[in-house]
Structure 1
Amino acid sequence: MIPTIQDGTIMIDVNTLPACPVETTLTLISDKWKILIVRDLLDGTKRFSELRRSIGNISQKVLTSNLRQMEADGLVHREVYAEVPPRVEYSLTDTGRSLKTVIDALWNWGEGYKAALTA
C-alpha cells in the first residue's frame, strides 16, 4: 500500500486495499506494536519518549518505523515544533481515534479470556 499526498492530504488508493474489510483493518494495525501505539495515543498527544516508555519493550527503530507507517496510513499525526532542542508530538487522527471501538473490543475479549482461565 503506497499512499500519495495530494493538496496536503494523504491519499491511499482504494484499489490497493484488500477486498475484505477485516483484512483491510488487519493490514493497518496487525503489527503488535501498532495496536499498542493506538491504545496509548487514545489517552492524548504524546512525545516519542513518552510513547516508548508507555509501550514498554520496544526499540527506538521499531517505534520510529511504526509511527512513520501509521502516519503514511493516515492513523497518526506528527507535529514538529521549531524549538531547540526539537520537539515532536504524536496524536491520533480522526481515523486513528475511530479505532477506539476495536481497542475496547480487544480489551474486553482479553479480560474475558483471562477470567475464563482463572475460573
Structure 2
Amino acid sequence: MTRRPYGLICPISRACEFLEPRWTIQILAELWNGSTRFNDIRKGLGSISTALLSRRLKEMEARGLIERLEDKASGTIAYFRTEKSIKLEPAMNALAEWAQCNIEAEIALADVDVSTLMWLVRRKIDIAELPQRRAVIRFHFRDDPHRSAPITG
C-alpha cells in the first residue's frame, strides 16, 4: 500500500513521512542498541512478524537508513545503520526523554513479554564484569510466582 504524503511544506511532516511506517523507529533503536542480525532484531522487538520485519528492513535499506552486508564465507547477513540514521540519534534520545517525562505509563507484568524483556536486559549486561566462571542471574517476578527467567552466561 502506497502512503499518501501529508502535502505540507514542513520539515517535521517530511520527516514523519520518511520514518512513518510502523516499526521503523523501533528497528532503528534496536540497531542502535547493538542488534545486527535478523533474529536478534526480531527478539528485541518482540511482537513483529518475520514477514513485516523483512519488508521494513528492505524499505529502510532502499531509503538509505540501513546497510545490509552479507558475509560470503558464512552466508550470514548483518544490518547496520548508515550515516543518515546515525544522525537521528539526538532526535531519538530527545524523543525517549520526552516520553519518559510526559507519558504516564504504568507497566504491568501482564503487559510485558518476559522473554523480550530478558533479551533486552541480557544485552545490557557487561560480561567483562562477571566472574570468570559460569554465572547465572535469575529474575523472579513477584506478580507471578511461577514465572522466573534466568540469564545464563
So what's the TM-score if we normalise by structure 2?
Answer: 0.59
Q: Which structure is higher in helix share? A: 1
Instruction: Mark the CA change 1:46 to 1:20 in structure 2 (over 3 Å): closer, same or farther.
Output: same
CA displacement, residues 4-40 of structure 1 (integer Å, 9 cap, x when unaligned) = xxxxxxxxxxxxx963211121112122300001111
- What is the percentage of aligned positions where both structures have the same residue? 27
Residue 67, structure 1, aligned to residue 57, structure 2: yes
So what's the TM-score if we normalise by structure 1?
Answer: 0.75
Q: Which consecutive unaligned segments of at least 5 residues does structure 1 have?
A: 1-16
Distance 1:111 1:26 in 2: 21
- Decide whether the 8 Å contact of 2:24 with 2:56 is kept in 1: yes
- The aligned counterpart of 1:106 is 95
Q: Which consecutive unaligned segments of at least 5 residues does structure 2 have?
A: 1-6, 107-153
- Decide whether the 8 Å contact of 2:35 with 2:41 is kept in 1: no
Aligned match for 1:91, one of 53, 74, 80: 80
Secondary structure of residue in 2 paired with 1:46:
coil
Which gives a bigger RCO, structure 1 or 2 (Cα 8 Å, sep 6+)? 1
RMSD: 2.1
- Decide whether the 8 Å contact of 1:80 with 1:87 is kept in 2: yes
- The aligned counterpart of 2:20 is 30
Distance 1:59 1:97 in 2: 25
Distance 1:80 1:48 in 2: 12
Greater radius of gyration (CA)? 2
Q: How many residues of Structure 1 are paired with residues of Structure 2 in the alignment?
A: 100
- Decide whether the 8 Å contact of 1:44 with 1:91 is kept in 2: no
Which consecutive aligned stretches of 4+ in structure 1 deviate over 6 angstroms post-superposition? none
